[in-house]
A and B are shown apart, each in its own frame.
Chain A
């Protein structure tokens, strides 16, 4: 009869430990990659949604004298005007209370900044005009990342 030594049991134990360690390592690596990918995707989306929305709205309303920078509720804003049956309506894009907002109303109406429709999370929007017909928008998203884009008003 063969005598059973403890070598086999020790080898099995070591193999089990190696198995467990590599399992933990792969799980940690996977979780790390997932976290980074999700974080980057969210960051890209947050900035892209706000800036792309502003850019698309401005280009969509690019008619002579219908786009201008201004202020609303004490902060910078973009005004997009629209003539419907002789009545001028304005769409105001601005940041208030942690959100990029859009407010559509008849020109001259006095509405509150809180009345605007929420578009996305944002901290700040600044609008400058470094050259004639060129709007420079600096948009800070909800996580504090600031992006700047220039928009040329072709109709001016």
Chain B
């Protein structure tokens, strides 16, 4: 008795062909979705960094204009001073907040000890992310009147 040979049907061949195409497409789609997500995250981070630098620069200029005085800096650009640190809270769209609730981004300006000049460290961070978005050291050589 001879073996029965299974002859492939036309729809069966089409099915295999389609499965291979779907498989390749799935692989490409997975790579593309990964790239889309990365692009979205990078774009958001870039926007946040731009805003963080803008806010930091503005506060640094106010601090210099105040001759290194945190209370006067707070009077000029908002925020609250506690234990030698000026804190300014921002919401998701970087609007400054008057109170403490709803903070998504936070700018911290901490006075540092220095002789003959005023020094401070500035840090902008996003809630829940330990690494700062932006940080820098500030120095004011003169006392503004």
Q: Which residues of A contact B (CB under 8 A)?
A: 2, 4, 8-9, 11-12, 15-16, 18-19, 22-23, 26, 29-30, 33-34, 36-37, 40-41, 43-44, 48, 51, 55, 130-134, 147-152, 154
Contacts and interface: CB of A to CB of B under 8 A. Distances in A.
B18 A131 contact: no
The A interface is mostly helix, strand or loop, or mixed, namely helix
- Interface centre among A9, A12, A34, A148, by most chain B C-beta atoms within 10 angstroms, is A12
Given A30-B36, A51-B54, A134-B62, A8 B22 contact: no
A150 B36 contact: no
Contacts of B144: 131-133
A12 B58 contact: no
B11 interface: yes
Interface of B: 6-7, 9, 11-12, 14-15, 18-19, 21-22, 25-26, 29, 32-33, 36-37, 39-40, 43-44, 46-47, 50, 54, 57-59, 61-62, 64-66, 72, 76-77, 144-145
A103 to B, nearest CB: 25
Given A16-B18, A19-B22, 6 more contacts: A8-B12, A15-B15, A22-B25, A44-B46, A150-B76, A152-B62
B22 A9 contact: no
Contacts of B61: 134, 149-152
Contacts of A16: 18
Given A19-B22, A51-B54, A133-B144, A36 B66 contact: no
A147 B47 CA distance: 14
A12 B50 CA distance: 50
